[in-house]
Amino acid sequence: MSILPKAITFAGVLIASVIVFSGNSALPQEPAAASTKPAVVPEQVDKTAQADPIEALAGKWDSKCSDKGCVMFTDVLIGDPDHPADPKHPEFITIAIAINRSTRKPDFFSFELPANADRKQGVILMFAKTVKDGNSWKMVEDKDSMSQLDFNSCDKESCIARVHPEILSSDGSPNIDLLEKFLNSSHIYFIYTKKGKPYRSLKPLFPFQRDYKQLMETELKPPTP
């Protein structure tokens, strides 16, 4: 059975929890970061980012480049109010975006989940935006951006959904331009199941937008005519 009919409800619960939290406070190989380990080891974490709780919550993006292009990647800690992250055995979703140097556009997006994800269900992606609501802000889900992705491969380490820059929406809307969503949304969130139970995770996108812009202006800057 597809998890899509319940996805909007799950997304609403996740968004509500984030609002409460906020109120209280041919390219290089895909990165080999396992789903049970963060892409950045503690010794490499930027201390400046750690000093900013919002930056620390959002997490940084790393990049690896070659003559053919760059891969940007980051980790998303898996956890929600119903299934909090286990501090002793945390699990992660790794996002990787392979950008072609000649076109300066993504060749593919990769989403790596823990191997214990229900393989037939795949993973649901959806984006959200933060909008002004009187004197405060609120998150509004972009329901047209919802898409259920199948896993291309699974092994004892992880399950991977690797897709082209455009993916099919779940409601028959026009294809979803993933790069456009990453650049113009405030958050991406994931819904997947493990032993039939839904798990949800959310990632702020402002660090990606900042780091992508910097990459386009430096490493992937067009050559001067």
Average pLDDT over residues 37-56: 42
CA dist., res. 67 & res. 156, Å (int): 32
* Cβ atoms 96, 76 nearer than 8 A: no
Domain formed by 4-28+36-217, architecture: Sandwich (2.60)
Nearest to 94 by CA among 169, 32, 156: 32
pLDDT tens digits, residue range 50-79? 445 555 557 789 999 999 999 999 999 998
Average pLDDT over residues 152-164: 96
Burial 127-166 (b: 16+ CB within 10 A, else e): bbbbeeeeeeeebebbbbbbbbbebeeeeeebbbbbbebe
pLDDT tens digits, residue range 180-199? 999 999 999 999 999 999 99
The token pair that represents 214 in the structure block: 């910097």
Task: Parse the chain into domains and list their residue ranges.
Answer: 4-28+36-217
pLDDT tens digits, residue range 114-139? 999 999 999 999 999 999 899 999 99
